[in-house]
Structure 1
Amino acid sequence: MSVLMHQQRGLHAAMLGAAAPEGLLREPVQHEPLLCIYQNAYRARLVAALRDNHGVLPRAMGDEAFDVLAEAYLQAHPSRQPSIRWFGHRLAEFMAAHPGLVPHPAFVDLARMEWALRDAFDAADATPMTPAELAALPVDGWPQRVLRFHPSVQVLALDWHVEPAWRALQADDEPALAEPEAGEHQLIVWRPLLETRWRTVASALEAQLLAAAMRGEDFSALCEIAADAVGVVGTVQQWTAEGLLIR
């Protein structure tokens, strides 16, 4: 192994917390270690990336609590991707597994919502189906028809109503936040064109229809879930108007 390669590998390991090879990045005259400069810059940049990738969460938690969380997450899950865009994809999972680092359990759902919005923004493009295109589909093919959802569509199961806090923090630098309300519900996140959207699933029936349709079950199966076709047709029309379905 060349001296340069040895130093590069040693630097990489030291940045991730391993012991540095003797003499790596030491000033030749004063013999002062310079490695800490790179170690601190590396960690600071990833903590900053975590803040950027979860824009509202740091403000909701507060700087001190978020920095402690970020350092613990970095230690447990160092960046594995060339792009820091993807750093933090397991943060909500990590928060759920380490409640002592989270001032309020609702912050876990807030992290999940924010990451889903970011994923939806970066999802593949697809042309949404228009209501006119839906109406023009042949009637005799509907029983076997399988709906196709936009690549950005995600359905999240949440335990806390974090949406009001997210909206308030988006609109105001220092909003007065109410205590989040507990309550199991589902949230749809998607990006039909250039703007990311979200809304709460309207009912238990819509949640069942979404789950079945996203599994690839056909229209006749959806009608069995709803007990009649009228409710399914109305739901499909709504999904089409919102840009959830593609051609």
Structure 2
Amino acid sequence: MSVTLQQQQQLAAAIRDGAEPAGLLAGDFALGLEVYRHAYRARLVAALTDNYTVLGRALGDAAFEALGRAYLDARPSRHPSIRWFGHELAAFMAEAGDDLVPHASLVDFATMDWALRGAFDAAEAPVLEMATLAALGPDDWASLVLHLHPSVQRVALAYAIEPAWRVLREWEPESGTDQPELPEPVPHPHTLLVWRQFGETHWRSLEPLEAALLQAVADQAPFALLCERAAAELGDAEAAAPAVIVALQRWLSDGLLRA
């Protein structure tokens, strides 16, 4: 290892991890490192604010900064792009104490924020059109395998946070108005669907049947198996195929499937 590379690594460790500098980086030069350390940490906390806008509003500036700094200490940034700093925040919050996470529903706020950012940044792909399916013959449907668009994400939430999330998302704290009164998140385990269509992110809560069908699609189950899954969920074999067709029509309209 060259001396220059070694010094670069020592400088990075001193700024990122607070390691004691050595060699040419020691002495009076070490005093200046505090400026870089502060700027580095502040920039990463600011990146968390960008990635978790609604969570930040739910917590408030001071509490969110404390959470961000605790997360940075526990899980330092290792990704070359600052965009991905914070990908483990929800998991970190699930294990944190009440001093950082005063209500368990805040974990779901983090999960929803991150899923929406992920959907926005997901790869492009052509969507499946109704005309493509209309061209299929009767014998083609049973073995038909559908594919989710890259932007589609399904995340498990423990609380019904969506009403409160929407209020906070529409709130503009820069206007000087106080935080609006929030609907109380009540325990409600369910699946949230997140996706991107025409450059905008969307979300909606899923009923158990649609959640099960989308899981089957993600598992590459053929159309015949989707109908079997629907029959099991509904307890009615005759209602299964019509229910799958209704779901399929909505998926096509929302752009959830790729060609």
Identify whether the pair has TM-score above 0.5, normalized to the shorter chain. yes
Give the one of 189, 197, 217 matched to 1:192: 197
Report deviation, 1:134. 2.8
How much has 1:70 moved relative to structure 2? 0.7
Secondary structure at the residue paired with 1:217? coil
Change (3 A) 1:207 1:5: closer
What residue is the counterpart of 1:33 in the other structure?
31
Per the TM alignment, residue 26 of structure 1 is displaced from its structure 2 partner at its CA by 5.1
Aligned partners of 2:54 and 2:7: how far apart in 1?
39
Distance 1:23 1:125 in 2: 48
Q: Pick which of 32-41 and 78-87 moved more.
A: 32-41
Contact 1:25 1:34 in 2 (8 A): no
- Residue of structure 2 in register with 1:17 after alignment: 18
Deviations 1:62-86 (A, max 9, x none): 1121111111110111111111000
- Could you list the per-position Cα deviations for residues 61-110 of structure 1 after superposition, in whole angstroms to 9, with x for gaps in the alignment? 11121111111110111111111000000000110011332011111001
CA distance in 2, matches of 1:10, 1:221: 56
Q: Give ranges in structure 2 of 5+ residues lacking alignment.
A: 173-178, 232-239
- C-alpha separation in 2, matches of 1:204 and 1:79: 36
Instruction: After TM superposition, give the deviation of residue 130 of structure 1 in Å.
Output: 2.6
The TM-score with structure 2 as length reference comes to: 0.88
* 3-state DSSP of counterpart to 2:72: helix
Q: Is the 8 A contact 1:147 1:245 kept in 2?
A: yes
For 1:175-190, list aligned pairs within 5 A.
175-190=180-195
Which one of the candidate residues 201, 213, 221 is aligned to 1:217?
221
Separation in 1 of the partners of 2:190 and 2:27? Answer: 56
Q: Report the Cα distance in structure 2 between the residues aligned to 1:24 and 1:99, rounded to whole angstroms.
A: 37
What corresponds to 1:236 in structure 2?
A: 248
Among candidates 87, 90, 93, match of residue 88 of structure 2: 90
- The answer to whether the 8 Å contact 1:146/1:219 transfers is yes
Corresponding letter in the other structure for 1:79: S
Over 3 Å counting, the alpha-carbon distance change for 1:220 and 1:2 in structure 2 is: closer
Structure 2 partner of 1:72:
70
Match of 2:253, as an amino acid? A
Structure 1 unpaired stretches of 5+: none
Please state how far the C-alpha of 1:178 moved relative to its aligned partner: 2.6
- Count of aligned pairs between the two proteins: 243
Alignment of 1:84-123 (within 5 A): 84-100=82-98, 101-123=100-122
- CA, structure 1 residues 231+142, in 2 after alignment: closer, same or farther (shift >3 Å)? same
Q: Distance in 1 between matches of 2:246 and 2:5?
A: 63
Cα distance change on mapping 1:178 and 1:6 into 2, 3 Å: same
Q: What corresponds to 1:136 in structure 2?
A: 135
Give the RMSD, CA atoms, in angstroms. 1.8
Contact 1:26-1:34 within 8 A present in 2 as well: no
2-side partners of 1:184 and 1:74: how far apart?
29
Q: Give the secondary-structure state (helix, strand or coil) at the position aligned to 2:25.
A: coil
What pairs with 1:27-66 in structure 2 (closer than 5 Å)?
27=28, 33-66=31-64
The answer to whether the Cα contact below 8 Å between 1:65 and 1:103 also exists between their aligned partners in 2 is no
- The residue type equivalent to 2:209 in the other structure is L
Match of 1:208 in 2: 212
Secondary structure of 1:157's aligned partner:
strand
1:236 maps to a residue whose letter is L
The whole-number CA distance in structure 1 between the counterparts of 2:214 and 2:34 is: 51
TM-aligned CA deviation for residue 25 of structure 1:
6.5
Residue in structure 1 matched with residue 156 of structure 2 by the alignment:
157
